[in-house]
Amino acid sequence: MNELELKYGCNPNQKPSKIFMADGRELPVTVLNGRPGYINFLDAFNSWQLVNELKAATGLPAAASFKHVSPAGAAVATELSEILKKIYFVDDLELSPIASAYAKARGADRMSSYGDWVALSDTCDKATALLLKREVSDGIIAPDYTEEALEILKSKRKGTYNVVKMDTSYVPAPIEHKQVYGITFEQGRNDLKIDAEILKNIVTENKELTEEAKRDLIIALITLKYTQSNSVCYAKDGQAIGVGAGQQSRIHCTRLAGNKADIWYLRQNPKVLNLPFREDIRRPDRDNTIDVYISDDYEDVLADGIWEQFFTVKPEPLTREEKKEWLKTFSGVSLGSDAFFPFGDNIERAKRSGVQYIAQPGGSIRDDNVIDTCNKYGMTMAFTGIRLFHH
């Protein structure tokens, strides 16, 4: 089969819609369940490339959680701490390596991952399927599925959950095309390899770059390769913890991603971990409530008469001063940018979210200001010499 008819395009009024191979080859995907749509396949093919490259670069199983053609999260399989298991709501599950990767990919920004498209570098097993079964998600792409996993996924969303199998032998053409306003664009495919080699040009006084930091910078850069630009990514512990996508200004990318990273870390505060939730509260409602609790609007939003909907007793607020003190302990974070930082203000903002290691292309007329700002804080920064715009 070299074409697949879709229900509609980006919106219901955009018909007809299909995916097809212009060169007559067979499509490299098989739909095992459901009826994926236009945006589903955009997410599927972008996310598949991301996890495939993460696996190749790190040697570890990789997973991604995509929304609207950008990753909400991406991660490789490493052992989860008890705290991370708790904030990701997986402390009651037995996790395989690929399930751990997805738990991290989804857990870093659970609000953005609501209704996500999932990508796995490795076979989807029972553990991953059981994790997915209880989350709100649109579909999944993976190289294969165990029989148990497939049966579990087929039962999801009243039997309509989208399950796609990717042909791992597929190699895309070196030249790619797309149309905008009836006009065809052509470019060479971005097959740039991202690995530790591109981190060797360290331009700061501090030259220290740990193996963990190298791994996290590689994760950040590969994530950015498939994120709508402008984009910035914070990473720690083998996962993206904050992605700022599609902003017109670099500093807004850095702020947006940094705010998400801060929320990820604030969720690990003891007050948040011990929130007295009612047992009947659904996961999405817990996520939303935690977000409100962490915000400065907590007292206004969860006023008397409202908090009882979520908690058994009204929790004490996490004050601004407590949040500030907690975030001061945030450290060891890696930061990637898909293009150069034009001003040192990006570094100042990154420092507030525990950033110690940075990888960016370099090439700004103000590189000296950015380097000086890094040196002020003892950060390590590498110039990769490569831009990673994705549109």
Are 237 and 326 a contacting pair, CB within 8 Å? no
pLDDT of residue 302: 64
CA 78 – CA 73 distance, rounded (Å): 15
89-117 pLDDT tens trace: 999 999 999 999 999 999 999 999 999 99
pLDDT of residue 4: 95
Are 54 and 62 a contacting pair, CB within 8 Å? yes
Average pLDDT, the chain: 95
309 confidence band (pLDDT: 50, 70, 90): confident
Structure tokens at 54: 């993460």
Residue 68 among the catalytic residues: yes
> Would 366 be classed as within a structural domain?
yes
Compute the C-alpha angle 163/165/167, nearest 5°. Answer: 165
Are 331 and 351 a contacting pair, CB within 8 Å? no
Q: Identify the domain boundary among 144, 171, 198.
A: 171
CATH of residue 34's domain is 3.40.140.20
Q: What is the pTM of this model?
A: 0.95
**Buried b / exposed e along 289-323 (16+ C-beta atoms within 10 A):** bbeebbeeebeeebeeeebeebbeeebeebeeeeb
Residues 94 and 232 in one domain: no
Residues 279 and 262 in one domain: no
> Would 167 be classed as within a structural domain?
yes
Which of these is catalytic: 68, 133, 154, 252? 68
261 confidence band (pLDDT: 50, 70, 90): very high
Residues 13 and 139 in one domain: yes
pLDDT of residue 304: 60
Please tell me what DSSP assigns to residue 339.
Answer: S
Are 362 and 337 a contacting pair, CB within 8 Å? no
Is pLDDT at 314 greater than 90 in this prediction? no
pLDDT of residue 211: 96
Weakest-pLDDT range from 79-88, 299-308, 338-347: 299-308
**Buried b / exposed e along 85-124 (16+ C-beta atoms within 10 A):** bbbbbbeebebbbbbbbbbbbbbbbbebbbebbbbbbbeb
pLDDT of residue 301: 64
pLDDT of residue 24: 86
Residues 139 and 279 in one domain: no
Domain that holds residue 376: 176-266+327-383
Q: Rg of the chain over CA atoms, in angstroms?
A: 21
Between 88 and 303, the higher pLDDT residue: 88
> Would 388 be classed as within a structural domain?
no
> Would 390 be classed as within a structural domain?
no
Residues 212 and 311 in one domain: no
- Among 76, 65, 70, residue whose Cα is nearest residue 216: 76
Residues 37 and 148 in one domain: yes
356-369 pLDDT tens trace: 999 999 999 999 99
Which of these is catalytic: 33, 55, 67, 269? 67
CA 179 – CA 281 distance, rounded (Å): 46
Is pLDDT at 140 greater than 70 in this prediction? yes
Weakest-pLDDT range from 57-61, 89-93, 283-287: 283-287
Are 79 and 62 a contacting pair, CB within 8 Å? no
Is pLDDT at 223 greater than 80 in this prediction? yes
Residues 136 and 225 in one domain: no
Number of domains within the chain: 3
Between 288 and 223, the higher pLDDT residue: 223
Residue 40 among the catalytic residues: no
Structure tokens at 171: 């190699």
> Would 391 be classed as within a structural domain?
no
Q: Identify the domain boundary among 171, 206, 225.
A: 171
Q: Identify the domain boundary among 145, 171, 197.
A: 171
Residues 185 and 239 in one domain: yes
Is pLDDT at 2 greater than 90 in this prediction? no
296 confidence band (pLDDT: 50, 70, 90): confident
Pairing state between β 175-180 and 162-166: unpaired
Is pLDDT at 183 greater than 70 in this prediction? yes
Is pLDDT at 233 greater than 90 in this prediction? yes
Residue 67 among the catalytic residues: yes
For residue 141, what are the β-bridge partners? 119, 164
Residues 39 and 128 in one domain: yes
pLDDT of residue 105: 98
Residues 24 and 120 in one domain: yes
Give the number of other Cβ atoms within 10 Å of residue 21's Cβ. 14
Which of these is catalytic: 230, 260, 323, 351? 230
> Would 129 be classed as within a structural domain?
yes
Residues 6+ apart with CB under 8 A from 306: none
Q: What's the one-letter identity of residue 67? A: K
305 confidence band (pLDDT: 50, 70, 90): low
Is pLDDT at 297 greater than 90 in this prediction? no
pLDDT of residue 128: 98
Helices (H), ranges, 198-282: 211-225, 250-266, 270-273
> Would 104 be classed as within a structural domain?
yes
Which of these is catalytic: 13, 207, 274, 391? 391
First to last CA, the chain: 28
Structure tokens at 213: 């930091």
SS3 291: helix
Average pLDDT in the 14-23 region?
Answer: 93
Residues 162 and 244 in one domain: no
Residues 103 and 26 in one domain: yes
> Would 85 be classed as within a structural domain?
yes
SS3 139: strand
Average pLDDT in the 326-334 region?
Answer: 97
